[in-house]
Amino acid sequence: MKVKKPLLYAVIAGVNAVSLTAALALTLAGGAIARSQTYNSAAQRWDRDGESSQISCFFSDDAGFNTDGMYALRAKLNSELTAAVSSPNGKVPEIADAYSTPIGSAYVTCDSTGKGEADLTAVGGDFFLFRDFRLLSGAYFSDDDIMQDGAVIERSLAFTLYGSSNVAGQLIYIDGVQYYISGVIDDPTDKYQKRTADEAPRVYVSYKGAESLPQVMYSASGSYGEGMEGQTKLTRITCYECMTYDPVENFGYGTIEKHFGDTYKGKLVLVNNTERFKPSVMAKAYRHRSDLAVRKDTVVLPYWENASRIAEFKLAPIYFHRTVCFIIPLITAIWLIWAGARFIKKRGLSLISALIEKKKKTAYDRRQKKANINNE
């Protein structure tokens, strides 16, 4: 049975409308998921011009990466950036970086009756610049502080200890070691972060400030990893992050990847945070989606990275099927171009010839009419 052309065109138009609507819905859903993982957009907050990228390096406990290795990497990034960028005023775009490592759980008390368990993380550099924490009271500490005994705690711990989040400046005791509360941040609110974060609240202290803790002072058990036993100075790094100006695409990521080479093979996970949620990247990742769910190395990722990996697991099929939804409109567009070219080839030339002949006849008729008027 031959389908009438008007009906066929209506079906084609309807299928295209459904495909484009589905693609739009998937785009909106994917964008919402990507935006929820704000830790990956630190570079956009740091560089409003969008010319910088954010890279994260996650090391296993036995990788042996430490502050010396971090200083060497920082020097390499600065050197490569200086060589790649020529500026008339002699200034080179800055690099921001941060490093951290978990140092176990601890018993936290205060000057009143409050007490509780908490997970401890030692941080350095611009750690809080990379985090999109909601600061409820106080301020963040930094490497430039004269005293390194400040601690940033989560809201739930602040309420457990003092019954309020407005407790900046109050004293706490982490396994008996005194610190002051520099700032209070909100607990994780994103559903993916809630799923990946431990139930215990988190406390962040500086690398220098952590050296007074029993977990660091008595590390002879090998908690620092192979080749780092018995150190009383905290040097281990399991997470290094940086933001750098990209004079060419993937400059920062490529520089770090080349710097490490195979040194930490199987013990390092390198992430380009700026590129990770792009639709094209996620659509390609759909085939290897299982790799996001199954770890094949010994790297233990922090909760914020695990939350982003859940987002990737969700985004891969979303952006893959969004790409599929564009196939029908693309085929339709190609068909319309082909049909238009065919129409021009078949009828266009004859129509043009007819128009030319009509113009010639009109001009001839005008001349004849004018000649007749003159003869009269």
pLDDT, one tens digit per residue, over 242-255 is: 999 888 888 999 99
pLDDT, one tens digit per residue, over 319-361 is: 999 998 888 888 888 888 887 777 776 665 666 666 776 776 6
Is pLDDT larger for residue 88 or for residue 241? 241
Identify the three-state secondary structure at position 166.
Answer: coil
In total, how many domains does the chain have? 1
**What confidence score (pLDDT) does residue 10 get?**
83
Identify the three-state secondary structure at position 370.
Answer: helix
**What confidence score (pLDDT) does residue 228 get?**
43
Identify the three-state secondary structure at position 105.
Answer: strand
Q: Is the dihedral of CA 185, 187, 191, 193 positive or negative?
A: positive
Dihedral class, residue 64 (left if φ above 0, else alpha if ψ from -120 to 50, else beta): left
Mean pLDDT, rounded, of the chain? 85
Residue 290 lies in a domain: no
pLDDT, one tens digit per residue, over 305-314 is: 999 999 999 9
Band of residue 57 on the pLDDT scale cut at 50, 70, 90: very high
Q: Which domain holds residue 198?
A: 42-273
How far is Cα of residue 55 from the mean position of the Cα atoms in its chain? 9
Residue 281 lies in a domain: no
Is pLDDT larger for residue 97 or for residue 88? 97
Evaluate whether 61 touches 225 at the Cβ level (below 8 Å).
Answer: yes
**What confidence score (pLDDT) does residue 101 get?**
94
**What confidence score (pLDDT) does residue 226 get?**
40
* Mean pLDDT in residue range 70-90: 81
Band of residue 155 on the pLDDT scale cut at 50, 70, 90: very high
Residue 108 lies in a domain: yes
pLDDT, one tens digit per residue, over 161-216 is: 999 999 999 999 999 999 999 999 999 988 899 888 888 999 999 999 998 888 77
**What confidence score (pLDDT) does residue 231 get?**
46
CA–CA dist 111, 113 (Å, integer) = 7
pLDDT of 156 over the 80 cut: yes
Instruction: List 101's β-bridge partners, or say none.
Output: 122
CA–CA dist 275, 282 (Å, integer) = 10
Band of residue 367 on the pLDDT scale cut at 50, 70, 90: low
* Mean pLDDT in residue range 33-46: 90
Residue 29 lies in a domain: no
* Mean pLDDT in residue range 253-267: 91
**8-state DSSP, 57:** E
Torsions phi, psi of 58, nearest 5?
-115, 125
pLDDT, one tens digit per residue, over 264-304 is: 988 999 999 999 999 888 888 888 777 766 666 788 899 99
